[in-house]
Amino acid sequence: MSDKVDFKIVEGDNIKIPKHIAIICDGNGRWAKRRGFPRTFGHKAGTRPIEDITKSCLELGVKVLTFYVFSTENWNRDNEEVDFLMKLFTRFFVKLRNKAGKNIKVKHIGTTDNLSHKLIDEIKKTERLTENNSDMVLNIALNYGSRYEIINAIKNIICDRDAGILHENKITEDLISSYMFTKGLPDVDLIIRTSGEMRISNFLLWQSANAKLWITKDFWPDFNYEHLKEAIKFYSTS
85 binds, among Mg ion, ligand IPE, none (CB under 5 to 8 A by kind): ligand IPE
Number of Cβ within a 10 Å radius of residue 225: 21
Residue in the shown chain whose Cβ atom is closest to ligand IPE: 29
| Sheet architecture: strand order including 212-215 | 104-109, 136-144, 64-71, 20-24, 190-193, 212-215
Under the binding rule (CB under 6 A), the answer on residue 28 touching ligand IPE is yes
> Could you confirm whether 26 is annotated as catalytic?
yes
Q: Which helix (H) or strand (E) holds 193?
A: strand 190-193
Coil/strand/helix, residue 3: coil
Residue 34 marked as a ligand binder: no
Q: Are 63 and 186 in contact (CB under 8 A)?
A: yes
Q: Give the binding range for ligand IPE (CB under 6 A) out of 9-17, 19-27, 111-119, 223-231.
A: 19-27
CB of 196 to Mg ion, least distance (A): 10
180 φ, ψ (degrees, to nearest 5)? -90, 165
> Could you say which residues in the range 171-200 bind ligand IPE, by CB under 6 A?
195, 197, 199
Question: For residue 143, how far is the Cα from the chain centroid?
Answer: 11
Reply yes or no on whether 160 is catalytic.
Answer: no
Degrees, nearest 5: CA angle 101-102-105: 95
Are 142 and 87 contacting, i.e. CB atoms less than 8 angstroms apart? no
Choice from 20, 23, 25, 26 touching Mg ion (CB under 5 A): 26
Check the annotation: does 77 bind a ligand: yes
Which residue stretch of 66-74, 90-98, 108-116, 229-237 sits at the interface with ligand IPE (rule: CB under 6 A)? 66-74
Instruction: Give the residue ranges of the annotated binding site for Mg(2+).
Output: 26
Residues that bind ligand IPE (CB under 6 A): 24-30, 68-71, 73-74, 85, 195, 197, 199, 201
